Amino acid sequence: MRRLLSFVVALILSVAVTASAQAPGSKTVILSTTTSTQDSGLLDVLLPLFEKQSGYTVKAISVGTGQALALAARGEADVTLAHAPAVEKKYVTEGKMHDRRLVMYNDFLVIGPEADPAKIRGEKSVVAALKKIAETGARFVSRGDKSGTHVLEQTLWKAAGLTPAAPWYIESGQGMGSTLGIANDRQAYTLTDRATMLAFSKRVALKPMVEGDKLLLNVYSVMEVNPANGPKVNTAGGKAFADWMLSSETQAVIKTFGVDKYGQPLFVPIAGKKDEDF
């Protein structure tokens, strides 16, 4: 019994020691970001490079854009990489975030079943396509989770002057990957980012229907957190990460990321560009 006890104490201590060594001090940066940056594998490539060059340790918390920004607004993160410009600008206006800078973009597209019940294949305007889907009552799966993708989808429905509703409108409440699975299973249309669609191309038989509309641009920005949001915001670390994301070296890595696996890059680097350029 005594030996067991000493073993337990030793174990607890060892965990406590490893933990304190990793505790978020000034050398740790908490990055709140979206699931797509993690699911695409981009973070796995970028973060080790940043950690090696800067000496910081990054804790990347991958959640929906809504939650990523909410965490930052509470001071629970030091820097945010998100893809919902309208929401981001609101946080910047409110003073919760600052120095919003564009990092990269790719695009969203509407995909759907081969049979194309709403006849939207090749439609140039995504808003017109959504109107057709609603008119025909063809099934559409929504993320329904306040992610960047969901925010854009809501903006598009609003532009179409529609309030989508059940039974043809299905809210998955899950990440992009699971949502693609549900849409595939239900033979429904859905809005997806290109990176996730490519990652799932083996398992999802849905076909691209509408792409190339300017409204479907998927722009990622990095923002620093206002230190007044909460105690212990690592301002220097957050800025270091944001600056690094925009450095020419990092942008070069982003430019070629995904080519080996998908035969095409997943993101286009756009450091220095402004919202007005798109």
Partner 1 sequence: MDVLVDGARQAVALLVSGDAEVLNVLWTSLKVSGTATLIALLLGIPAGAALALARFPGRTLVVSAVNTGMGLPPVVVGLFVTILLWRSGPLGVLEILYTPTAIVIAQAVIAAPIVTGITLAAVQNVPAAFRLQLVGLGASRAQMVWVTLREARLPMLAAIMAGFGGVISEIGASMMVGGNIKGETRTLTTAMVLETGKGNFDVAIALSVLLLALVFAINWALTAVQQRR
Residue 80 and residue 67 in contact, taking contact as beta carbons nearer than 8 Å:
no
Residue 120 and residue 129 in contact, taking contact as beta carbons nearer than 8 Å:
yes
Q: By CB under 8 A, is residue 236 in contact with partner 1? A: no
Q: By CB under 8 A, is residue 11 in contact with partner 1? A: yes
SS3 218: strand
Q: Give the closest residue to 259 by CA, choosing from 45, 62, 26, 92.
A: 45
Among 64, 66, 75, 238, binds partner 1 (CB under 8 A): 75
Q: By CB under 8 A, is residue 23 in contact with partner 1? A: yes
Please say which residue, 19 or 166, places its beta carbon nearer to partner 1. 19
Q: By CB under 8 A, is residue 18 in contact with partner 1? A: yes
Q: What tokens were used for 271?
A: 């450091």
Residue labelled with tokens 């930052």: 72
Q: By CB under 8 A, is residue 60 in contact with partner 1? A: yes
* CB contact burial 188-211 (16+ within 10 A = b; e otherwise): bbbbbbbbbbbbbeeebebeebbb
Q: Contact region for partner 1 (CB under 8 A) — 79-87, 171-179, 247-255, 265-273?
A: 171-179
Please say which residue, 178 or 256, places its beta carbon nearer to partner 1. 178
Using CB under 8 A, list all residues that contact partner 1: 8, 11-12, 15-16, 18-19, 22-25, 30, 35, 38-41, 44, 47, 59-62, 74-76, 175-178, 196, 199-200, 202-203, 230-233
